[in-house]
Amino acid sequence: MTIHIHTSSRMSTGRKQLLYAAATFLLGILIGISTSSVAEDELELFYSYYSDSSGLDVTSPNFFISKDISEQDTLGFMYLHETFEKSAQGSGTDAVSGATTVVGGSGSSFEEDRNEYGAYYTHDFSSTTLGAGYYYGDEPDYKSNTLLLAADQDLLEKNLTLSARVVFGRDKVDKLDAAPEESFPKDKEVNRLVLAATQLLSPRALIVGGFALEDQQGYLSSPTRRIVIETFFPGGGGVRTVYDERHPDERLRQVYFIRGKHYFMTRSAFDLNLSYYTDDWGVSAQSAEVRLSQYLTPQIIGRLRYRYYSQSEADFYKEQYTQEEDIMTADYRLRAFDSELYGVKLSYFLRHKKFNGTSISVSYDIYDETNNGIDGDIIQVWLNMPY
Half-sphere exposure of 316 (CA within 13 A, CB side): 14
Cβ density class 205-238: b for 16+ within 10 Å, e for less: ebebbbebebebeebbbbbbbbbbbeeeeeeeee
Looking at the structure of the chain, the number of domains it has is 1
Cα 193 from Cα 253, distance rounded (Å): 11
Mean pLDDT of all residues in the chain?
82
Tell me the residue range of the domain where 103 lies: 2-386
Among the listed residues 60, 83, 76, 65, the one whose alpha carbon sits nearest the alpha carbon of residue 6:
60
- Decide if pLDDT at 57 tops 80: no
Query: So what's the pLDDT on residue 189?
Result: 97
Q: Percentage of the chain with pLDDT > 90?
A: 49
- Decide if pLDDT at 318 tops 80: yes
Task: Tally Cβ neighbours within 10 Å of residue 277.
Answer: 20
**Which residues, in sequence order, are CB contacts of 350 under 8 Å at separation 6+?**
299, 356, 357, 358, 359, 360
- More confident position, 250 or 349: 250
CATH number at residue 329: 2.40.160
**Which residues, in sequence order, are CB contacts of 374 under 8 Å at separation 6+?**
12, 14, 15, 18, 339, 367
Q: Percentage of the chain with pLDDT > 70?
A: 79
Query: So what's the pLDDT on residue 314?
Result: 95
Cα 19 from Cα 8, distance rounded (Å): 15
pTM of this structure? 0.81
Give the model's confidence band at 40: pLDDT under 50 very low, under 70 low, under 90 confident, else very high: low
Q: What are the phi and psi torsion angles at 34 (to 5°)?
A: -75, -15
pLDDT in tens, 162-194: 999 999 999 999 998 888 888 999 999 999 999
Cα–Cα distance list, 95 to 50, 54, 55, 346, 374 (Å)? 11, 12, 11, 31, 18
pLDDT in tens, 72-111: 999 999 998 988 887 655 444 333 333 334 443 344 566 8
